[in-house]
Amino acid sequence: MLKIGMIGAGFVAGFHERALCSVRGVELSGVCAPEGAEALAKRSLKDGLGNTKVYDDVADICNAVDVVCIFAPNYARLEIMRNIAKAVENGAEIKGIICEKPMARNLQEADVMARMAKALHIPNAYFENQLHMPCVVEARNQLSAVEKSMGAVHLSRSAEEHGGPHEPWFWDPTRQGGGVCCDMGCHSIAVGMYTLTPSGKAPDYLTPVSITANMALLKWGKEPWISKLKERGVDYTQTPAEDYSNVTIEFKDPESGIRSISQATNSWMYDAPGLRLLMEAFGPGYSYTVNSLESPAGMFISDAAAAAVADSELALEKAQATRGALILQPNEPDLYGYVTEWRDAISAFEQGKDAMLNFEYGRMITMLVMAAYMAHEKKATIDLTDSEVLQELESYVPLIQQGKGAEILFSG
């Protein structure tokens, strides 16, 4: 039994606790967080995930578990990683370190995360659930023979959209790293690249050639939305971030030289039933589509009965309505790939190896996200084969992340 310890006990940790109910050979032994730890530990005990205890600091939880997970906000990553490293230096025996997406707010931070993980010689996993979505995995499996005879996917479209994040820190570009492109573009860029990757090749196989991006503040900079954010302590008159992002990346197959393109679209203004993940892949003579809002299950709640719905988000992530015709996804941890990413990480750690996606991969995705911000800022196509550009990206911090988004984002 591998003992899991979660640092952070908020929204995503809750999803992972649900996912662990479908993973064998693990117990959730510890939780450590300023808020939510007691409640998560209680739920884990109720779900039979082990004798889950609450720990006050990172050193204590590292001494008690085999696998430690960074599920805390983006601005807390580096400090937590440093504390894990200290605990290991002081004798904690860790068999695996997991970090949720995004790897970091910028490339400088991502470099530190990846270098520290390497220096510790501890197997690691970058949690990017969308590459593990059973729909994506199965479509790729089913089509692998067709792909071998016809050629690889040449165009991918990926999107993650919802009505806006649940906690104020996500909206603050200085703490989160940006707006929707840093928060959700990292998912769509990663899964878009994977969709183009020939089966049997590593997720970082393709060579990024160039990137263009268009970002804007379309909804949340306008009234009444800007005032609604202010009520939650987020001031988009001073430090706005993008609520819309569209990133196009050109890739090259390093063996055949064949070019392909991915389009990643993300928004925080999806005023629709709830979170939607969309993937489309077009190959020569074949294609596939994934739409997370298509479900065989639905519900209807009349106006007369609406008061009876306590928490619509239990039926669908980021649900925006509590009445009418509602979509029901009964097993979101499985649908979104959380269960599969856990199985992959646990099996890798048991063999002393990195998971399918490691911190180095997370660093590469951060590079693409930073390049997208740079393309938007410079209103130019960024050449990702130019060594000077790659050097510039190493220390680049987007204006939006610096809190200067007002200089480049428009709003009504």
Instruction: By CB under 6 A, name the binding residues for ligand NAD.
Output: 7-13, 33-36, 71-74, 76, 80, 100-101, 129, 167
- Residue nearer to ligand NAD on the CB measure, 8 or 192: 8
Alpha-carbon gap, residue 183 to 277, rounded angstroms: 14
Joined together, the tokens standing for residue 23 give 């993973």
Express the helix, strand and coil content of the chain in percent, nearest 5 each. Answer: 40, 20, 40
- Residue nearer to ligand NAD on the CB measure, 317 or 354: 317
- Residue nearer to ligand NAD on the CB measure, 147 or 160: 160
- Residue nearer to ligand NAD on the CB measure, 49 or 186: 186
Q: Least distance to ligand NAD from the beta carbon of 37, Å?
A: 7
Q: Least distance to ligand NAD from the beta carbon of 207, Å?
A: 26
- Residue nearer to ligand NAD on the CB measure, 241 or 384: 241
Strands 53-54 and 26-32: parallel
Cα three-residue angle 94-95-99, rounded to 5 degrees:
85
Strands 324-328 and 382-383: unpaired
Q: Least distance to ligand NAD from the beta carbon of 72, Å?
A: 4
Q: Least distance to ligand NAD from the beta carbon of 337, Å?
A: 9
Q: Least distance to ligand NAD from the beta carbon of 302, Å?
A: 32
| Angle, in degrees to the nearest 10, between helices 107-120 and 359-378 | 170
- Residue nearer to ligand NAD on the CB measure, 260 or 340: 340
Q: Least distance to ligand NAD from the beta carbon of 13, Å?
A: 6
Residue of closest CB approach to ligand NAD:
10
Contact criterion met (CB below 8 Å) for 28 and 2? no
Sheet holding 2-7, edge to edge: 53-54, 26-32, 2-7, 67-70, 96-100, 124-127
Contact criterion met (CB below 8 Å) for 116 and 104? no
